[in-house]
Amino acid sequence: MFNLYKLSELKSGFYEFTTEQNVVYAVYFGDGQSYFHDYPEFSGEVLTFGFDRITETGKPRLDINVRFTITWLIIHYLQNNQDKILFFVCDSADSRGAGRKKIFEQWYRHLKVDYIEMHNESIYTGDMDIHCSILLHSHNSMKEYIISSFRDLSHATTQKLKSY
């Protein structure tokens, strides 16, 4: 049986948890409306999403409960905030963005909830590939427009992603 780690909300939208191996993770939801400023109909509902390993303990061991804890938080958040959109970028600064994208896709396949949708895009720049995704509730009243807008990211948003 898999167990969730105990989440502590340190401030609004910022959580931490500690694994059995004493590895501390931060999970956060931030203001993401500037990425979609060309879409004022929903930009105020966009949050950036991410997580980081805070403590370094060498090469991390696979801990399935990390995945369950983080995905539980996503599910819980979107269940209670159906009009919100979670936007995240798989950091490519260390050339591991594609690997992160694969991990997130795998996590999504394991969610097994039919009311959360994930949509992915890759932006190919001259010096790096940027992989980004949105997660949203399937009952979001603007779902089709949001997905279409995400697919047609504006030039300004692309420039912001390049500087991420």
* CB neighbourhood size of 7 (10 A): 16
Has residue 82 been placed in a domain? yes
CATH number of the domain within which 128 lies: 3.40.630
Is residue 1 one of the residues assigned to a domain? no
Residue-number span of the structural domain to which 153 is assigned: 8-162
Which residue's structure tokens are 């983080």?
70
Mean pLDDT of the chain: 84
2 lies in some domain: no
Res 95 pLDDT > 60: no
DSSP character at residue 59: S
Residue 28 covered by a domain = yes
Residue 38, domain member (yes or no): yes
Residues 127-158 have pLDDT tens digits of 777 778 899 999 999 999 999 999 887 455 56
For residue 155, being part of any structural domain is answered with yes
Domain total of the chain? 1
Q: Is residue 3 included in any domain, yes or no?
A: no
Indicate whether this model's pTM tops 0.75.
Answer: yes
User: With DSSP H G I counted as helix, E B as strand and the rest as coil, what are the percentages for the chain, rounded to 5?
Assistant: 35, 30, 35
Lowest-confidence segment of 12-16, 49-53, 59-63, 136-140 by average pLDDT: 59-63
